[in-house]
Structure 1
Amino acid sequence: MLRLLSFALSLCLILPASLQAQTLQDILQTHQDEVLSPGRQSVGVVLDDLVASGLPQALPFLEAWRDREIVQRDSDGLFFRAIEADDAITLEDLDTGTTTTFANDDGLTEARPNGGVRRAIGDALVQFQLSDPDITKRQAAVDAIARSMDASQLGPLQASIAGEPDPSLKDTKERLAGMLAVLFGETQEARIAAIAGMADDLSVDVRAVLNTVLSSQPQFAVALPDDANVAQVLTVGVDLSAQEAYERLVAAELAPALVTSAQIREALVANIEGGMVGGVPVSALNTDAARAEAYDALAGQGLVAPRVTPEAQTAAVADHIYFLQYAEPDPVITDAAEQALAAVETRVAVSQGIDLGLDALSLASIYFLAAIGLAITFGVMGVINMAHGEFIMMGAYTGFVVQQFVPDYTLSIIIALPLAFAITFGAGVAMERLVIRHLYHRPLETLLATFGISIALQQLAKNIFGTQARPLTSPEWLDGALVFNDVIAISYIRIAIFVLALLFLGLILFVLKRTRLGLEVRAVTQNPGMAASMGINPDKINMLTFGLGSGIAGIAGVAIGLYAKVTSEMGADYIVQSFMTVVVGGVGNVWGTLAGASLIGFLQKGIEWLNPSNTLAAQTYMILFIILFIQFRPKGIVALKGRAAAD
């Protein structure tokens, strides 16, 4: 019975206190002074109680407090949110939300937290916002934690993970909680587990966290301290110079500073007496040795600080051990971080190689598209067409014009591809009929004529479209990139160009291997005289072949225009690479063009990776390599037989 009475009495004492904790106003009344005049050191008590209360009204109070909208009514000491509107003050109850309007602010005292307090309130707000129903607020809270990386945020962040409904944000929270656990985990086991979980993450911020754990400071001592977590023992003369080592001793006031030549000169000037300094005539102070002797004499008289001899400097340096000491005192933690960082850097290096390969493959696809038409015309006809780049330009401008009339970008591209082929096919046939056919077997005249046509087409494009770059907009489904991890990514436009290059490869192989036109083209390529005797018209085949090559260049122009700028001079950016691709791969051979495009694409990206700051130098090195390559294999990677071989 006595125990029951004691228990009932305890409930009577405890219950009122628990009821008081149910309202926000009661918490604020407990900390009146801290709420009204908060300080950076005292505000933490209020914030801890608010966070621990779990009251939903604590979040809007913190926002109002941060924004300096909280006032205290002098008559009863209660706190309200003050809203000014229409020359009136509206007080909003912090628990119920009921409002009362007053004509002025008489009898109200405003709480004015300073900048440091407002930052502390912002940190507390983050903890509430982590579980806010509004996903934008939850995302903002996670972003705020990522910027500050404070130990106080680890617990609230971990507690909010289980109830996070958005899968993407949940993954972000888990990842951020792991990084915070690496830095601020409560136990060694927790930190090591978090570090191990980072070994598969290639992001820059994870590497930054691991590097923070492995951050070190230069130290020195007579002997290595037993309790020091040493990152590296530095060897004087290898890892740091003797001069740097001695300067560290001087900075720690463990060795006298070296006397510089300027200080010696100033001391000598200040101590000239009767034309003498330290027993040495001023006229004799024309060498470093003489000035040093005079200075040493002054030091012997106690007039200046003595010089540090090289021997004394060497001895002082030799008496100490120089090392890098981890800021993290636990060697087990730093060992785990080193292993994780090594694993991450290895994966990053592999991923960078894969990413470089994808870039090279994409560039090779662009070069293949630009060169395949030239490979056909050059291989079959032996014509050096310097206007091939302008057919690419014509195709790109065709796509631009179509988009002015067809606003649907997907449909406009579908229309532009065959239209660009038709226009450039017709232009190529016209060029062959009017100019090229009269210049067969005259390569120099053909080169000059096509070069002149190239300039004329460029000027015509400038007159029609102007000199400004024109946009050729890709469809929305080509926006963005395919991301494999934080290192490997490739844009959807590049993927589309690669797929288009594969389609062209298959189409051209089908035409050349499975159609009558392809059979006649191959016959004329190998032996035009024998083909003519079999009833094939080489003149007609040349015309169709030149038109086909020009039409393919037009389609390539549409694809390239989605990736690069569309200007009247864009063809000049690809004509050199196109000729190099054809010559290196093998004239007139589709597989040779593919091999040449791959070689040049991978070679250029490799050189740019070795020398990323100078793209022009990379192109120069590439051309030099190709010149050397042609010296050893003049007919290209895949050489033709028949007429091409004889030529």
Structure 2
Amino acid sequence: MRPILIFLLILLTVPAWAQDLGTVLDANREQIERPSRQTIGPVIDKIAASGDGAVAFLEAWGDRSVGLTGDGRFAILREETATDAVTGAAITAEIDMLRPNSGVRGLIAAALVPAQLSDPDPARRRAALDALGRNAAPEHLAALRGALDDPDPDIAAQKLRLERLLTIGFDTDPAARVLAIESFAGNTASDVQARLNPLLATTRFAGDNLPAGANIARDLRVDEDITRDEAYRLLVETGLARARLTDEAQKSALAQHIENGRVGGVPVNELNDMESRDRAYAVLADQGLVQPAATAAEVDAALEANIFADVYTEPSAEVTDAAREALNALQTRERLAQGTDIALDALSLASIYFLAAIGLAITFGVMGVINMAHGEFIMMGAYTGYVVQGFIANRTLSLIVALPLAFFVTALAGVVLYRLVIRYLANRPLETLLATFGVSIALQQLAKNIFGTQARPLTAPDWLGGSISFSEMVSISTIRVAIFVLALLFLALFLFITKRTRLGLNMRAVTQNPGMAASMGINPDRVAMMTFGWGSGIAGIAGVAIGLFAQVTSELGQAYIVQSFMTVVVGGVGNIWGTLAGAALIGGLQKWIEVLNPANTLAAQTWMILFIIIFIQFRPRGIFPTRGRFVEG
């Protein structure tokens, strides 16, 4: 007797609806065959609580993979294989598939959430969270709250975050929703904004009195916040006023009912104002000849008698206030992030211009030579890097070799150019400009003959291929960071050479007063040659750096020569700090103009050149003018 009593006691303690899957399916067969969203909910709950096989059945039912055999058995069809939904036995009989509608499938998905969120497999729990994030419903909130405890810390954090997002959208307690909104303070994630934005959605209200408890976004004043036509259209749409004809429609209707020179008893020659036309039209409407329409006086009276407002669709003012405050904070953070991102881009661009211009600043500052072939030295450096990568497969090692080799190649080219051309054109700036321009064209054609017209790849090492992110919206590529560091290194190297070496002392002496320098035993010609070679070599290194993110072609240098000259002129000829300031100014100005006019880069460059022209009218010797012969001249 004892075992029987214990079994009966267990049966009494089990809820009445906690039956096995087969019993539940048999008891609710008709509702499962023809489910209705209004009545199927309790049946789905019973199936979910029926134990083994329930989850598999619900998943298949939601996927429209459940059917009925001729003898009344429920079958699950997967990949053309049919099995009994209760026993799992194979089925070969013909199956009539069930087709639950989207509403029923939504209830099934909600019933599956607790099981999926507590599934032993972490992958299935993550998949359930992803599905909820994409398509959540109010009924999912309670299920998610019941599964917040998770052995995986990452999944537990995802569940808590999703619970707060669903609380914002679906919780019935305004205080809980406000707390959930405040918990995302400073979070600029797109899913957070997607939850907050609908809370501030509004509808236009028109009527004599605002609805009780309406959450008003703002009152609308006719002719200030809303036009008369729009306000009256709202009254017509809500049935509070008759439609108003347009002047053209009214005139057309009146013209169709002219009899003996009159319309509605009003002489035609008197229909030159709106009041007369309204009077005539009202007579025609009373006679049933035209559709009744509001007169101008009725429109004015209706607008005076009613109020207009934007009303939040969200009824709780506490929730909308919290959402508006959070979104305002997010917008502030976004603007700050965008500004920071633009500033980083401008700093990166300034670093590139500084590298491209520093060699030009050295040659122009010491010698006063306008070297139009400077851009081609940049191009030669980039092609040197490309050639080195053809021999050395390791990208890091090839870059280490390419930088000094590019310096040597372009420095040698600079020395040759000086010895063959520049030295014979001293103090003849126009002839020097024309000669170096011819050299520029010759070098471009030589590059085309050797490497062709197609762009050549200069691949960066993998460790330069990523980016450094400061937030969701602020990031900068690693290559640009490397170029910035390289620019700082060359700034330090330049300062060391000019301040701590004999070559630097000679350069400064020749820059300030070449005649006095020569009388002190300094060979200005030798100093100029070394300076020209050094400046050209730095251009070659800049070419390698630029080639890592730009296309290496024979026209590569032409894209930077104009900005390089502007950088030197704006900063101050021959002054390294001026070159740095000029690069920062040119890079920042170009980036901000591109932001204001992103669709037209040519217009951005035009505005930048106009700014430079205006700038040099007030500072003709640049930001940091150099003392010496350029001042005196």
Question: How many residue pairs align between the two structures?
Answer: 631
Alignment of 1:114-513 (within 5 A): 117=104, 121=108, 128-131=115-118, 137-163=124-150, 165=152, 167=154, 171-273=157-259, 277-278=263-264, 295=281, 298-299=284-285, 301-305=287-291, 308-513=294-499
C-alpha distance after superposition, 1:333-364 (max 9, x if no partner): 11222222222222223222222222221121
CA RMSD of the aligned region, Å?
3.3
Which shifted more, 190-199 or 70-79?
Answer: 70-79
Q: Is 1:629 equivalent to 2:615 in the alignment?
A: yes
Q: Which amino acid aligns with 1:148?
A: N
* SS of corresponding position for 2:352: helix
CA contact (8 A) 2:378 2:542 kept: yes
CA contact (8 A) 2:18 2:46 kept: no
Unaligned 5+ segments in structure 2 are none
* SS of corresponding position for 1:315: helix
Q: Which amino acid aligns with 1:153?
A: H
Which shifted more, 291-300 or 435-444?
Answer: 291-300
CA distance in 2, matches of 1:151, 1:550: 69
Shift of 1:606: 2.8
Which residue in the other structure is 1:561 paired with? 547
CA distance in 1, matches of 2:214, 2:228: 23
Alignment of 1:24-103 (within 5 A): 24-38=21-35, 44-49=41-46, 51-52=48-49, 57-75=53-71, 77-81=73-77, 83-84=79-80, 90-92=81-83, 100=90
Which shifted more, 419-428 or 232-241?
Answer: 419-428
CA contact (8 A) 1:28 1:79 kept: no
Q: Which amino acid aligns with 1:110?
A: M
C-alpha distance after superposition, 1:405-424 (max 9, x if no partner): 33332222222222222222
Unaligned 5+ segments in structure 1 are 85-89
Shift of 1:588: 1.0
Shift of 1:394: 2.0
Shift of 1:237: 1.2
CA distance in 2, matches of 1:287, 1:320: 27
CA contact (8 A) 1:199 1:340 kept: yes
CA contact (8 A) 1:432 1:543 kept: yes
- When residues 536 and 123 of structure 1 are mapped into structure 2, their CA distance, relative to the original with a 3 A threshold, is farther
C-alpha distance after superposition, 1:385-442 (max 9, x if no partner): 1121122222222223333333332222222222222222222222222222222211
CA contact (8 A) 1:25 1:79 kept: no
Q: Which amino acid aligns with 1:32?
A: R
Shift of 1:196: 0.5
- When residues 230 and 289 of structure 1 are mapped into structure 2, their CA distance, relative to the original with a 3 A threshold, is closer
Q: Which amino acid aligns with 1:593?
A: T
Give the TM-score, by structure 1 length.
Answer: 0.87
CA distance in 2, matches of 1:122, 1:457: 69
Q: Is 1:514 equivalent to 2:513 in the alignment?
A: no
Q: Which amino acid aligns with 1:79?
A: A
Which residue in the other structure is 1:87 paired with? none
Which residue in the other structure is 1:596 paired with? 582
CA contact (8 A) 1:29 1:78 kept: no
C-alpha distance after superposition, 1:228-265 (max 9, x if no partner): 11110111111111111111111122111112233234
Q: Which amino acid aligns with 2:345?
A: D
Q: Which amino acid aligns with 1:145?
A: L
* SS of corresponding position for 2:590: helix
Which shifted more, 435-444 or 339-348?
Answer: 339-348
CA distance in 1, matches of 2:603, 2:383: 31
- When residues 64 and 590 of structure 1 are mapped into structure 2, their CA distance, relative to the original with a 3 A threshold, is same
- When residues 155 and 17 of structure 1 are mapped into structure 2, their CA distance, relative to the original with a 3 A threshold, is closer
- When residues 143 and 8 of structure 1 are mapped into structure 2, their CA distance, relative to the original with a 3 A threshold, is closer
Give the TM-score, by structure 2 length.
Answer: 0.89
Shift of 1:446: 1.2
Q: Which amino acid aligns with 1:11?
A: I
Which residue in the other structure is 1:110 paired with? 97
Which shifted more, 422-431 or 581-590?
Answer: 422-431
- When residues 392 and 32 of structure 1 are mapped into structure 2, their CA distance, relative to the original with a 3 A threshold, is farther
Q: Which amino acid aligns with 1:163?
A: D
CA distance in 1, matches of 2:387, 2:39: 68
Which shifted more, 531-540 or 57-66?
Answer: 57-66
CA contact (8 A) 1:478 1:493 kept: yes
CA distance in 1, matches of 2:148, 2:548: 42
- When residues 29 and 490 of structure 1 are mapped into structure 2, their CA distance, relative to the original with a 3 A threshold, is farther
Q: Which amino acid aligns with 2:134?
A: R
- When residues 493 and 320 of structure 1 are mapped into structure 2, their CA distance, relative to the original with a 3 A threshold, is same
Shift of 1:451: 1.6
Q: Which amino acid aligns with 1:378?
A: F
CA distance in 2, matches of 1:96, 1:75: 15
C-alpha distance after superposition, 1:494-550 (max 9, x if no partner): 212211111111122122222222222222222222222333222222122112111
CA contact (8 A) 1:25 1:78 kept: no
Which residue in the other structure is 2:624 paired with? 638
CA distance in 2, matches of 1:19, 1:219: 50
- When residues 604 and 516 of structure 1 are mapped into structure 2, their CA distance, relative to the original with a 3 A threshold, is same
